[in-house]
């Protein structure tokens, strides 16, 4: 498989996994916010760890593949995949905090 196509597919898969994991984190924070707002004593908050675990495993595997490719080829044409996950995380957290700030003022 062409290295560029492999890199593209790897990054798309990483972005899909990161999106799924961040959606689950968003739902978790919504449940925690609802608990804080209602202050009910018996409470239950759930978090699906499957997307977070898959994201962690995939990030580790893609980092290992990147290191192997870097040793094999001196110039790589694709970005470091873990940076993409972190940038998506920071964008998601920024949007979440902006929406919290907007809802508090409104």
Helix, strand, or coil here: 52?
helix
Dist. CA 2–CA 69, nearest whole Å: 13
Match 């009910």 to its residue by tokens: 40
Task: Give the pLDDT confidence score for residue 64 in this predicted structure.
Answer: 85
pLDDT at 104 over 70: no
pLDDT tens track for 31-87: 888 888 887 777 788 888 999 899 889 888 888 877 887 777 665 555 666 677 777
Identify the CA nearest to 94 among candidates 35, 45, 22: 22
For the record, the structure tokens of 82 come out as: 């873990």
In what helix (H) or strand (E) does residue 106 lie, and over which residues does it extend?
none
Q: What is the mean pLDDT of residues 87-104?
A: 74
pLDDT tier at 106, thresholds 50, 70, 90: very low
Long-range contacts made by residues 23-28, C-beta under 8 angstroms, separation at least 24?
Answer: 23/51, 24/48, 24/51, 24/52, 25/52, 25/92, 26/92, 26/96
pLDDT tier at 88, thresholds 50, 70, 90: confident
Instruction: State pTM to two decimals.
Output: 0.59
């Amino acid at each position: 498989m062409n290295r560029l196509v492999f890199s593209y597919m790897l990054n798309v898969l990483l972005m899909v996994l990161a999106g799924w994991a961040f959606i689950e984190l968003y739902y978790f924070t919504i449940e925690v916010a609802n608990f804080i707002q209602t202050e009910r004593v018996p409470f239950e908050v759930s978090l699906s760890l499957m997307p977070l675990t898959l994201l962690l495993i995939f990030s580790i595997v893609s980092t290992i593949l990147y290191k192997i490719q870097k040793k094999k080829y001196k110039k790589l044409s694709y970005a470091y995949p873990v940076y993409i996950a972190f940038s998506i995380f920071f964008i998601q957290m920024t949007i979440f905090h902006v929406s919290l700030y907007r809802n508090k003022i409104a």
